Amino acid sequence: MKPSLLKPAATTAALLVGLACVTAHAQEIPAPTSATEPSRFALVVEGGTVGFGPSVIYTINPKWTVTVGYTWLDHNYDVESDDNKYDGKLKLSNFKALANYHPWGGSFHFSGGVFATDNKIDVTLRPTERQTYKINGNEYSSTFINSLGGSATFEDDIAPYVGIGWAKNPANSGFSFYATLGVFFAGDASANLTATGPITLNPQFQSDLRAEERDINDDLEDLGAYPVAQLGVLYRF
């Protein structure tokens, strides 16, 4: 081959080798992608038997998530004893911290954890049409009682919780339905009644008032295992 033909051939070969090296190097670099993985966080706005408020869900992995949240509510809740029906107001304040297990990696999950509660019921007893109060079977004139009422609280501030729920699959972002069903165990109710007026100096009245407290506690016994039924809207980022 003539020397004049060797130079172009060598140049062409060098270009082909260089192009092959660049192509191989480019294959080692991952191709850019515009898709981003959804955030591990989801925000919930919920309402139900433990009140209304926000919650945050953090995804650990497809099987496990953690929920923390706070709910509150004030609403009327009448309380009865053997002799009386009290005007009551239930005041709810609950902070929750739950671990959620998604057995199939989807929206359904089992939950367990605790509720830090500050729940109470304020009660007020009104006199009858005859302007009397009936306490533990004994009648007392409203002439000697200016007011009678009090509050009932629950034994345990930290209440264990078990339940089930539905929340959006951690792999998918966007809005979805949210629900939980369960129960937390707040312990026994403890009522504390007080009265004002001249009758408060009467030992028999004080004994009857203590008996009335026990009757109220018996009526509130079912609330020691407090039902949780919450619905809401979830947004996973």
Instruction: Spell out the per-residue pLDDT of the chain, length 237, in tens.
Output: 444 433 444 443 444 344 344 344 434 434 444 445 657 899 999 999 999 999 999 999 889 999 999 999 998 988 888 888 899 999 999 999 999 999 998 899 999 999 999 999 999 998 988 899 999 999 999 999 999 999 999 989 999 999 999 997 666 778 999 999 999 999 988 999 999 999 999 999 999 999 999 998 888 888 889 999 999 999 988
End-to-end alpha carbon distance in the chain: 69
In the chain, what are the domains? 35-236 (2.40.160.170)
The confidence score (pLDDT) of residue 106 equals 86
pTM score > 0.95 for this model?
A: no
Residue 38, classified by CB atoms within 10 Å of its CB into exposed (0-12), middle (13-18) or buried (19+), is middle
Contact partners, residue 17, CB within 8 Å, separation at least 6: none
The CA distance from 135 to 206, in Å, is: 10
